[in-house]
Amino acid sequence: MERNKDEKRLSRRYVAVTALVIVFFTGIIFMYYSMLYNEKRDNIIKNGEIAANESADQIDKYLSTNSDSVNLAAYALDEMLRENRSDREIQEYLVDQSTAVRSAVLENMTGLYGYINGRFFSGTNWVPPEGYDATVRPWYTLPMENPGKLTILDPYIDIQSGNVMLALGKTLCDGVSVISVDVSLDRIQELTEKAVADGESDIEMLLNEKGVVVAHSDSREIGKNYSEEKDTLGSKIFENLGAVDENYFEISHSGARYIVYVATFQNGWHCISVEDSTKILWSLRNVFIATIAVMLAAAMTIGLIMMRSNRYLRMSARAMAESEAKSIFLAQVSHEIRTPINVMMGNNEMILRESRDDAIRGYSDNVKNAGAQLLKLVDEILAFSKTGEKPGEEAAGNVLRSGERYTAPSARVLAVDDNPLNLQVFLNLVKRTGITVDTVESGAEAIKLAGRCQYDVLVLDHMMPNKDGIETLAEIRSSANNLNASTPAICLTANAIPGAREFYIGAGFDDYLTKPVNPNALEDMLRLFIPEEKIEEYKEGTEGAGSDSEDAMPQELEALRGGLLDIDAGIENNGSVKSYMSLLKMFYDSVDDNAEELGRLYTQNDNDNYTIKVHALKSSLRIIGAAGLGEEAQKLEDAGKKADRDYIDKHHQQFISSFSTLKDTLSVLFPKKDESGKPEADADRMKDVYGRIADAAAKMDCDRLDEIFAEMEDYRIPSGEAVLFDKLKSSSERFDYENILKLLG
């Protein structure tokens, strides 16, 4: 009877798990679809902006060349009119100028012409047909309506060539004369057609202020007046030109959805790029439908497995030992449910970290909470299935053990990161494992060391100056004779995005971790790749395991709660209070140098290295728990990647100011010591110390360097040596051996 109750209770939980799985996966799918939709839409808008602005710049440059020729001719002719120069001189000037302009700009133009001193002139000596009246021609009448201003006419058919042309005209100083030039639309038409051919947009066009099509990627549209049309795509575009504040808008026409980007330039003309978003976003719908189908199939599979497992459990009770049946059940459910849930929650965590959309983050928070409840319920079912204890009892928390402590004293790891704080964090996090760690701050140093020493694991930062982590690993892997050509490699990155694991594995890595690095996740991953024979399970008292004394909280640190730092996050990121305090000291000592370097890169307009530097600072800020300032660094990094100098110009100084404010906040933790009672180190001692420091740096012996600087704590550094000594100490704390040798060289 009791067994039947237990089985019913378990069956109800099977149903609950299945329902939660469906809700969980559905939430993930809807959230992911929403994110993809917004990302695709933003990409369309960005591409449209680029296409429209590039076309506008090229067309503006093309027209400006010819505008300059008209303005120059008008200036010269005004002088000739004031001096009462003869018609012959005017004609000669127009011929000479037309020849010069056509030769210089290599444009398809008919030459300068005009109505001057009551008669028609042509720079190409063209003789108009009998009855030709220049004063009724648009090239004359329209400039007369805008005296003194350069006027661009609507497209027209040239009598001489039969080509579609534009006329640019301007009145002269006497108020009744006009000078003009005809410009072929062929080049402008080429630009619009090329934008479409290159895939920059689906439709490209140039409209004048009246809605007349000056150029169009579909040449059949040239000359149409969209302001006079009804219910066409062109008329809808023209209607929206002045109706929105943004430089892009969305419209629907004939069942399709379009995103239109507009660049406005001289005389109120508009260069327009149109993207048919229907075909792009429709593909997302197909993905969405396919994903829903996969999700339903997965839910049905899980339900079937549960049903079969439950049936098998009942049958097994009669055919074999009950413990064996439960073990099979446990293995099946653990593999089929926990694994995909953990994967989905990992991707969801990436979305939480990277998304700036409040709605998506709200969905993601809901998914995170539902996932946590789901995992808890699964754990309870597994506990009940394995031990027979009721869910919620103590055994439930001990079914699956993760992050078990271990030591690996004979293991050796190479850690590579251009940010010394990241290296220190890595050392802190693996200290209790007893692993030997070599650290370097560049890809070039890593390649040299990897060629000399055999390692069990390589851990490389992705974004580094000169040679990034991917390039560094590729160079190590490319040589079959390299000692570490096949050594497992882990990538560390602060930019976790969906698909990151596949990306880094495709780049040659065996796995990756996101920053700030979770201590247990790091230990678990290292354990996965370190040879089994080098690992020992941790026992109390094992060297390198750490101690409770490391978690004593200084009062000064406790007092900083609620300010710029998330103290608990900083401690979690660094493994212990002691490690956190050590890292804060490194950060505090490096603030001025980092601010100075970032300012130099900003002043030099070195966008690439500025982006890399602010990326490193973002990582440091997040590690110490300064999430708010880390977010500011993230935005500057994003702007650097997009070459958005305007954003950087507006926010760089504010970031530097906040950076300095953070140093002031930390100053209470590291007050200057009173060294008045210490003896001053004489010249001989300083010479000896510098020699020992150089020798230790050349051997990359960080322990020896620590001993030397600890020894010098008993002495007062001479004022003339203080700056150099502080730089040496700071470089030592950052493991920057190369800079130490440079300073002492």
Identify the DSSP state of 212: B
Residues 6+ apart with CB under 8 A from 179: 70, 73, 74, 77, 112, 113, 114, 116, 169, 170, 172
Which has more pLDDT, 560 or 499? 560
pTM, to two decimals: 0.41
Strands (E), 395-524: 406-407, 412-416, 436-440, 457-461, 489-493, 511-514
pLDDT at 75 over 80: yes
> pLDDT digit string (tens) for 357-372?
666 666 666 666 666 6
Compute the radius of gyration of the chain from its Cα atoms: 37
The pLDDT of residue 341:
61
> pLDDT digit string (tens) for 153-199?
777 666 556 667 778 899 999 999 999 988 877 778 888 888 888 87
Which has more pLDDT, 328 or 161? 161
Mean pLDDT of 489-504: 78
Judge contact between 488 and 473, C-beta under 8 A. no
CA distance 503 to 416: 19
CA distance 30 to 711: 61
In angstroms, how far apart are the furthest CA atoms of the chain? Answer: 123
Residues 6+ apart with CB under 8 A from 650: none
User: pLDDT grade, residue 335 (50/70/90)?
Assistant: very low
> pLDDT digit string (tens) for 398-421?
333 444 668 888 899 999 998 888
User: pLDDT grade, residue 651 (50/70/90)?
Assistant: very high
pLDDT at 334 over 60: no
CA distance 438 to 446: 10
The pLDDT of residue 329:
53
CA distance 33 to 94: 64
> pLDDT digit string (tens) for 505-514?
888 999 998 8
Q: What angle do CA 142, 146, 152 make, to 5 degrees?
A: 55
> pLDDT digit string (tens) for 186-245?
778 888 888 888 877 889 898 888 888 888 989 888 888 999 999 899 999 998 887 766
CA torsion through residues 613, 614, 616, 620, sign:
positive
Q: Which of 187, 150, 194, 195 is nearest to 172 (CA)?
A: 150
The pLDDT of residue 13:
65
The packing angle between helices 2-82 and 186-197, to 10°, is: 170
Residues 6+ apart with CB under 8 A from 688: none
pLDDT at 484 over 90: yes
Which has more pLDDT, 568 or 19? 568
Q: Which of 690, 681, 674, 672 is nearest to 715 (CA)?
A: 681
- Mean pLDDT score across all residues of the chain: 79
pLDDT at 698 over 80: yes
CA distance 289 to 701: 59
Residues 6+ apart with CB under 8 A from 430: 413, 437, 522, 523, 526
The tally of CA atoms less than 13 A away on the side-chain side of residue 151 is 20
Helix or strand or coil: residue 265? strand
The pLDDT of residue 427:
86
Q: What structural domains and CATH numbers belong to the chain?
A: 406-538 (3.40.50.2300), 558-666 (1.20.120.160), 683-744 (no CATH)
pLDDT at 320 over 70: no
> Exposed e or buried b for every residue in 79-94, given b needs 16+ CB within 10 A?
ebbeeeeeeeebbebb
Strands (E), 441-587: 457-461, 489-493, 511-514, 536-537
